[in-house]
Amino acid sequence: MAALGYAYPPLPFPGRPLPASWDSLPGKWHYAQVLRDRGRSVYPSLKDAAEGTRARQLPPGFVYVSYTQAAYYHNRLFYLVDPQGWWMRKNDLWAVAPSKFRGVLLTQTPSHPFGWVLQPLNTQHTPGYGTKDSTRHHLSRYEMVQIYDTREANGIKWYMVAPDEWIPQRLVALVFPRKSPPEGVSGNRWIEVNLYEQTLAVYDHGQMVFATLVSSGRPPFWTKPGVFHIYQKLTSTRMRGAFSADRSDYYQLDDVPWTMYYDESRALHGAYWHDYFGYRTSHGCVNLTIADAHWLYEWAHLGDTVYVWDPSGKTPLEGGGGGP
């Protein structure tokens, strides 16, 4: 274990979770999903919403709205979903709470790969699915682990997270620390997105200062690998669009927070509509939790390098999507 770099008792990880104070939005709003099987009507006044008059329709699809006010009218609840005064019925919406996951701030570049468990599991004494030797040590989703050794069994990689404790590669998303910039990156300040692991690491003065989980584009809406630069920063923005001819994949997302565009319509931004970080879920953008996106937004400058890569080589270099 000493040869693998494992000290006993274990040395403390050189970092701490991002403080909860970063879990904040640019505006005083909340979010809700427009239910597909309900009405999609918005009304110019609270009275019209209650009476069902003068409505306009939101397009069908994957639609989320932000709301700043709730009000009762004739014992029915309504939400103000637009600063111009448009209202929706509460029964047509499903209020959502953004993920509370937060990445880690680092005081130095870690000496070992590390990451987060993606699904609850018990570690095993030996690697491989053919063994039934659970340690009964339970790891929860989003629990952090460090990696000390790697072996292959059952055709997949297994990682040692403690003496005689192994977990399968498919259930963990890892960050592999660098000691120098990757190929194509000049300078000592960059954001690195690993598409295979679904992780993000931030380097400042050549040292890793932050790391977290992300959700990048799912097939066929790939997040394109390459070296890019942040060209626009927006505290919040509406994202909408469709890729298919029949617009069956239409999406509209109000007030997407802490958005930074780096590759045409692809951006790093907060995602309030899911808690699947560590898995590909987006239309091409790089999703982060609200807290992580907020920290990254404050750290980043226009022109900063964004290095996106896939160590497996399976992500196409062209095509893909460009949405949230």
Which tokens sit at 242?
């469709």
Q: What is the pLDDT of residue 196?
A: 97
Together in a domain, 184 and 275:
yes
Together in a domain, 144 and 171:
yes
Query: Per-residue pLDDT for 319 more than 70?
Result: no
Q: What is the pLDDT of residue 151?
A: 96
Residues 202-232 pLDDT 10s: 999 999 999 999 999 999 889 999 999 999 9
List % helix, strand, coil for the chain (3-state, nearest 5).
10, 45, 50
Q: What is the pLDDT of residue 112?
A: 93
Mean pLDDT of 8-28: 93
Which tops the pLDDT comparison, 129 or 176?
176
- Answer whether the bond into residue 181 is a cis peptide, omega within 30°: no
Mean pLDDT of 165-183: 96
Mean pLDDT of 255-277: 97
What's the domain range around 38?
A: 30-96
How many domains are contained in the chain? 3
Cα separation of 133 and 192, whole Å?
Answer: 37
- Answer whether the bond into residue 120 is a cis peptide, omega within 30°: no
Query: Per-residue pLDDT for 318 more than 80?
Result: no
Together in a domain, 210 and 275:
yes
Q: What is the mean pLDDT of the chain?
A: 93
Contacts of 104 (CB under 8 A, 6+ apart): 13, 15, 16, 17, 18, 144, 210, 211, 212
Q: Domain ends where: 146, 175, 204?
A: 175
Q: What is the pLDDT of residue 220?
A: 87
Together in a domain, 313 and 251:
yes
Q: What is the pTM of this model?
A: 0.94
Query: Per-residue pLDDT for 117 more than 80?
Result: yes
Q: What is the pLDDT of residue 39?
A: 76
Does residue 198 contact residue 215 with C-beta atoms inside 8 Å? yes
Together in a domain, 183 and 320:
yes
Query: Per-residue pLDDT for 142 more than 70?
Result: yes
* Nearest by Cα to 174 from 193, 143, 199: 199
The DSSP symbol for 128 reads S
Q: Domain ends where: 128, 143, 175?
A: 175
Together in a domain, 77 and 132:
no
Together in a domain, 116 and 82:
no
> By percentage, how much of the chain surpasses pLDDT 70?
99
Together in a domain, 182 and 246:
yes
Does residue 103 contact residue 212 with C-beta atoms inside 8 Å? yes
CATH code of the domain containing 155: 2.30.30
Together in a domain, 221 and 298:
yes
Residues 64-112 pLDDT 10s: 999 999 999 989 999 999 877 899 999 999 999 999 999 999 999 999 9
Query: Per-residue pLDDT for 256 more than 90?
Result: yes
